[in-house]
């Protein structure tokens, strides 16, 4: 088409056929640069990533398509201006924008999709092409744009469906996105099977961490929902079984104790995992003081042979009795602790005497 138009563009008077052929070239170029099929329709995604750039490079080539087909520089730009400078202005305007994205197909596609308000297609294009670095700011920018109600509904629905995939890319960025832009997403989580609960764990772990960093003590402003989601988080940590599991759970509970102690779910998990500190903390929060003391007392007796750990649990036992003095007095907790201490001292003396005798 360029060669055809070049054969008559310099004529002072053009025939109707020549005008029609020249206009067809301009329409073709405009469609390609806009990401459209010629003469109408939309380019498929795989072509959208390359056709506009190829056309741009062709038009702005220094010596023509093969690099040697012209004596003057920028022959195709000169040709378009020569044919019809006024009609070619819209094409030049679009090319000027393309210049900003030169050698950047992602930028070209973004420009085209946004210009056509095809936000859903743009998001899917990023995911399809594994543009993981830019997908989160892109979604944020789109959701905060001046969208119609229908656009917002369509985009939100697509992003909802993509969240599990986004979590595999970056759990914390996904959690930020959900908390800030999709407040109803967490409320929709209703996993039952173990695999479903495990899949939700990375997102919830990041979400609870973010809320704590922001010094907020809620996730969804709904205690029942928060209770369920915290249970999934707690269960996930227990199943991970990291080093110092009890210490990790205790730190978590010190901030989220009102949520974690609303039922016995976390308590049962902590007890089954042998996490004494966390178990005591949850029992105490749920008013199960007798059970909490029994766990403490078991630890005191179990650590008699380890002076450091024995002193640690003895101190916790005495502090517990002090905090609940009325229960302590009525149930003789302090007396039981003193007997345990006396027994431990007697055992140590017996052991020392045996070594002395030997």
Neighbours of 185 (CB within 10 A): 19
| End residue of a domain, out of 98, 117, 136 | 117
Residue that the structure tokens 């009890």 belong to: 246
How do residues 259-303 score in pLDDT, each as one tens digit? 999 999 999 999 999 999 999 999 999 999 999 999 999 999 999
pLDDT category at 246 given cuts 50, 70, 90 is very high
| pLDDT value at residue 240 | 95
Report CA torsion sign: 146, 151, 155, 160.
positive
pLDDT given at position 354? 41
**Residue 355: count of CB within 10 angstroms of its CB:** 8
- Please give the full DSSP string across 253-275, using - where no structure is assigned: HHHHHHHHTSSSHHHHHHHHTT-
In a domain, 49, yes or no: yes
The answer to whether residue 101 scores a pLDDT higher than 60 is: no
If pLDDT is split at 50, 70 and 90, which confidence band does 115 have?
low
Q: How many CB atoms lie within 10 A of CB 67?
A: 9
Query: What is the Cα–Cα distance from 69 to 63, expressed in whole angstroms?
Result: 6
Residue 325 falls inside a structural domain: yes
Q: Is the pLDDT of residue 165 over 50?
A: yes
CA angle 269, 273, 278 (to 5 degrees): 70
Residue with tokens 């398509």: 65
User: Which of 43-52, 335-344, 347-356 is predicted with the least confidence, judged by mean pLDDT?
Assistant: 347-356
Residue with tokens 């089954």, as numbered in its chain? 272
Number of domains in the chain: 2
d(CA 182, CA 177): 7
Extract the tokens encoding 261: 């102690």
Lowest mean pLDDT among 48-52, 120-124, 200-204, 315-319: 48-52
Is residue 54 within 8 Å of residue 60, measured between CB atoms? Answer: no
Residue 328 has pLDDT above 70, yes or no: yes
Task: Inform me whether the pLDDT recorded for 356 exceeds 50.
Answer: no
- Entry pTM: 0.71
In a domain, 135, yes or no: no
The Cα–Cα gap between 269 and 267 comes to 5
Residue 238: how many other CB atoms lie within 10 Å:
19
**Is the residue at 321 inside a domain?**
yes
Please compute the mean of the pLDDT values over residues 315-333 and round it to a whole number: 92
Looking at per-residue pLDDT, the higher value among 46 and 21 belongs to 21
Query: Is 86 a domain residue?
Result: yes
pLDDT tens digit sequence for 200-245: 999 999 999 999 999 999 998 899 999 999 999 999 999 999 999 9
Contacts of residue 184, Cβ cutoff 8 Å, sequence gap at least 6 = none
Q: What is the mean pLDDT of the segment spanning 241-255?
A: 96
- Among 66, 97, 117, the domain boundary falls at 117
Lowest mean pLDDT among 20-24, 28-32, 46-50, 205-209: 46-50
Neighbours of 335 (CB within 10 A): 11
Evaluate whether residue 250 is within a structural domain: no
Closest CA to 159 of 122, 193, 129: 122
Answer whether 155's CB lies under 8 Å from 149's CB.
no
Confidence of residue 106 (pLDDT cuts 50, 70, 90): low
The reply to whether omega before 290 is within 30° of 0 (cis) is no
pLDDT at 99: 53
% residues pLDDT > 90 (the chain) = 49
Q: Say which residue, 354 or 256, is predicted with more confidence.
A: 256
Residues in the chain: 358
Say how many C-beta atoms besides its own lie within 10 A of residue 357's C-beta: 6
pLDDT exceeds 70 at position 95: no
Return the C-alpha torsion angle 233, 237, 239, 241, nearest 10. Answer: 180
Q: Name, in order, each residue with C-beta under 8 angstroms of 34's C-beta and a sequence gap of 6 or more.
A: 52, 94, 112, 115, 116
Do the domain assignments include residue 101?
A: yes
CA gyration radius, the chain = 36
Residue 38 binned pLDDT confidence (cut-offs 50, 70, 90): confident
Domain C-terminal end among 117, 150, 175: 117
Averaged pLDDT of the chain: 85
CA distance 147 to 348: 76
Q: Is residue 261 one of the residues assigned to a domain?
A: no
- Three-state secondary-structure class, residue 299: helix
Round to whole Å and give the CA distance between 218 and 229.
11
- Greater confidence (33 vs 256) lies with 256
User: Which residues does 1 contact at the CB level (< 8 Å), separation at least 6?
Assistant: 21, 24, 25, 28
Containing structural domain, residue 307: 288-348
Mean pLDDT comparison of 63-67, 72-76, 81-85, 136-140, highest-scoring range = 136-140
């Amino acid at each position: 088409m360029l060669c055809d138009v070049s054969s008559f563009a310099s004529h002072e008077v053009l025939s109707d056929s020549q005008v029609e052929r020249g206009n067809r070239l301009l329409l073709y170029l405009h469609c390609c640069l806009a990401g459209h099929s010629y003469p109408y329709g939309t380019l498929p995604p795989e072509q959208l990533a390359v056709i506009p750039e190829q056309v741009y490079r062709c038009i702005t080539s220094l010596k023509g398509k093969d690099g040697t087909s012209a004596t003057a520089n920028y022959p195709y730009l000169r040709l378009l201006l020569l044919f019809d400078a006024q009609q070619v202005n819209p094409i030049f305007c679009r090319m000027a924008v393309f210049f900003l994205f030169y050698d950047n197909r992602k930028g070209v596609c973004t420009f085209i999709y946004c210009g056509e308000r095809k936000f859903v297609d743009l998001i899917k294009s990023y995911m399809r092409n594994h543009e993981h670095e830019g997908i989160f700011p892109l979604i944020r920018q789109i959701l905060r744009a001046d969208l119609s109600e229908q656009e917002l509904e369509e985009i939100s629905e697509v992003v909802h469906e993509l969240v599990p995939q986004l979590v595999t890319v970056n759990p914390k960025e996904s959690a930020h996105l959900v908390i800030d832009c999709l407040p109803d997403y967490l409320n929709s989580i209703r996993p039952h099977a173990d695999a479903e609960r495990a899949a939700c764990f990375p997102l919830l772990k990041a979400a609870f961490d973010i809320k704590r960093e922001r010094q907020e003590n809620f996730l969804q402003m709904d205690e029942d929902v928060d209770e369920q989601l915290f249970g999934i988080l707690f269960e996930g940590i227990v199943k991970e079984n990291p080093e110092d599991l009890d210490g990790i759970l205790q730190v978590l509970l010190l901030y989220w104790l009102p949520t974690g102690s609303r039922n016995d779910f976390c308590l049962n998990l902590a007890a089954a995992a042998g996490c004494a500190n966390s178990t005591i903390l949850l029992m105490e929060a749920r008013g199960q003081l007798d059970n909490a003391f029994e766990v403490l007392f078991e630890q005191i007796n179990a650590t008699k042979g380890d002076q450091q750990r024995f002193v640690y649990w003895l101190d916790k036992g005495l502090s517990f009795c002090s905090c609940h003095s009325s229960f302590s007095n009525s149930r003789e907790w302090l007396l039981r602790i003193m007997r345990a201490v006396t027994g431990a001292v007697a055992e140590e003396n017996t052991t020392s005497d045996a070594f002395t005798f030997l």
